[in-house]
Amino acid sequence: MELEFVKMHGIGNDFIMLDDRNRLIQSHISYSTLAEKLCDRRFGIGGDGLILAVPSQDHDIGFRIFNSDGTEPEMCGNGMRCFAKYLFERQIITTPTMRVETLAGTIIPEVILDSGQQVTSVRVDMGEPVLEAGKVPFVSDMDIALMDKLYLEDQVLSVTAVSMGNPHAVIFVDQVDQVDIAAVGRQVEVHSRFPEKTNVEFVQVISDSELDMRVWERGAGITLACGTGACATLVAAHLNKLTSHKALIHLAGGDLEIEWNRENNHLYKTGPAEESFSGRVRV
């Protein structure tokens, strides 16, 4: 079977995009197996994840995403921006705002266009954060886990647990470039207190409107960016009285603007999405 694909990235978090609205791909190969095959950076196309456009009964489109190890997360903020650009520029969806069905619920991205009707950036309504520890899920004596102590083999961390449809452990540090992201992130991801594993964000506060963040993603490891992680980071920082409700977040791959609207409790994320190349691949 030969597939047409598009390779995209959102500030360095890179994805392979496929259209499976007719379900022909799924009938030929499992999405999980396909993700492992195509995301391999030596023997495949290479990517942090595989994203597929699938049919939806009550939304404009359905969104499925699989990590490079074949696991399926609920959502991905950087992937959603790429997805919206992919849909609009290929006229799969012709309206700038779209309702997308994900495992984390309804997500509403809006493409921002230049005079030539090309997508320059994407603003995504990421929905409401989940703060109740048991629903993140995170095992804690606190109703909302703010700076809860997490014991590792060789150190104790203060963790704030937030879900943006997927779990996040936000850890504030003095110097983010002094953290061994891989060593610590790997331990936190699989800690028994996170029964569904977790994404891990390491965050340095620069000011009340600026944060520096690095991420270890569940199922992917170190990546250059994580959109849901940036949203969880702002929520954690604001709840811990470290920032206001809006901040510019610096990631290894670039910057994201995150706003927590306290009137409707929704998080809004604005950032770029870029097409790297397209082609055909035989599977």
Where are the chain's structural domains?
A: 2-125+271-282, 133-264
For residue 117, the model assigns a pLDDT of 86
For residue 253, the model assigns a pLDDT of 95
Instruction: Give the chain's residues under pLDDT 70.
Output: none
Catalytic site residue from 39, 76, 82, 231: 76
For residue 196, the model assigns a pLDDT of 97
82 belongs to the catalytic site: no
CATH number of the domain located at residue range(s) 133-264 in this protein: 3.10.310.10
Catalytic site residue from 39, 82, 226, 231: 226
User: pLDDT for 160-169, tens place per residue?
Assistant: 999 999 999 9
| DSSP per-residue codes, the chain | -EEEEEEEEETTEEEEEEE-TT-HHHHHS-HHHHHHHHH-TTTSS--SEEEEEE--SSSSEEEEEEETTS---S--HHHHHHHHHHHHHTTSS-SSB--EEETTEEEEEEEEE-TTS-EEEEEEEEEPPB-BGGGTT---SSSB-SSEEEE-SS-EEEEEEEESSSEEEEEE-S-GGGS-HHHHHHHHHT-TTSTT--EEEEEEEEETTEEEEEEEETTTEEES--HHHHHHHHHHHHHTTSS-SEEEEEETTEEEEEEEETTTTEEEEEE--EEEEEEEEE-
User: pLDDT for 204-214, tens place per residue?
Assistant: 999 999 999 99
For residue 185, the model assigns a pLDDT of 98
Task: Please determine whether the domains at 2-125+271-282 and 133-264 fall in the same fold group of CATH.
Answer: yes
Right CATH for 2-125+271-282 from 1.10.630.10, 3.10.310.10, 3.40.50.720, 3.90.550.10: 3.10.310.10
For residue 116, the model assigns a pLDDT of 85
For residue 97, the model assigns a pLDDT of 98
